[in-house]
Amino acid sequence: QSGAVATHPSNDTWRRPVRTFRVKMVLLGGSSVGKSSLALRFARSEFRSVVPTVGCAYMTQVTHLRDVSIRFEIWDTAGQEKYQSMLPLYYRGARAALLLYDISQRETFSRAQLCLQELEKVSTPGSTLTWLIGNKTDLEHHRQVSEQEGRSLASEKGLYFTEMSALSGDGVSQLLEEIGRCPPSVF
């Protein structure tokens, strides 16, 4: 869903038009995998220990890449079981879905797979860029899910894959850039 075309002056000269794309991005996964912390990293470049999300939280972030601006509309969903029936409301229309798990908690890897199954039920094939993300690489010494396991699942399901740390910020800006480099037809 593209937005308006705008021009921006620079040193009394005009650059070519900049297209702005709106991207609804939904963060999915179990409780305590770092969805809210990642959303804060995206939107405000900060880290805070956060309390569990109730229902869903919403933030925005604009990223500029060459001649394109992307306005990410970030929907941070709750990971608790009692909110699971509401999740399809937030998936609808998402152009990017980030399935998070905590590399130091094996059960969160299984939960990410369940979220993927639910996402597949409500999304049109090819309409949503889906990333499998191993979060909390700062807890490498407590790792329970190997990077290869994550890569294998992503490859098997046709997902993008990365590992990162919302705490340290490692890999976060690269992920936004990767999503931003996707063909505009996706958005």
Question: Is 3 among the domain residues?
Answer: no
Q: Is 159 left (phi over 0), alpha (psi -120 to 50) or beta?
A: beta
Question: Is 52 among the domain residues?
Answer: yes
3-class DSSP state of 51: coil
Question: Is 177 among the domain residues?
Answer: yes
Highest mean pLDDT among 15-19, 25-29, 86-90: 25-29
**Is residue 187 over pLDDT 60?**
no
pLDDT of residue 109: 98
pTM to 2 decimal places: 0.77
**Is residue 55 over pLDDT 70?**
no
pLDDT of residue 6: 43
Cα separations in angstroms, 81 against 5, 20, 170, 180? 42, 36, 29, 31
Question: Is 9 among the domain residues?
Answer: no
Question: Is 60 among the domain residues?
Answer: yes
Question: Is 10 among the domain residues?
Answer: no
**Is residue 154 over pLDDT 50?**
yes
Binned at pLDDT 50, 70 and 90, residue 8 comes out as very low
Q: How many domains does the chain have?
A: 1
CATH number, domain containing residue 114: 3.40.50.300
Share of the chain above pLDDT 70, in %: 71
Question: Is 167 among the domain residues?
Answer: yes
- Beta bridge partners of residue 128, listed in sequence order: none
**Is residue 9 over pLDDT 80?**
no
pLDDT of residue 78: 64
3-class DSSP state of 128: coil
Which residue, chain included where needed, has tokens 């998402």? 94
User: Which tens digits make up the pLDDT trace of 92-151?
Assistant: 777 889 999 999 999 999 999 998 998 888 777 778 889 999 999 999 999 999 999 999
Range with the poorest average pLDDT among 17-31, 41-55, 98-112 = 41-55
Q: Is 17 left (phi over 0), alpha (psi -120 to 50) or beta?
A: beta
Domain region containing 112: 19-186
Question: Is 94 among the domain residues?
Answer: yes
Please check whether residue 90 is in contact with residue 77, taking contact to mean a CB–CB distance below 8 angstroms. yes
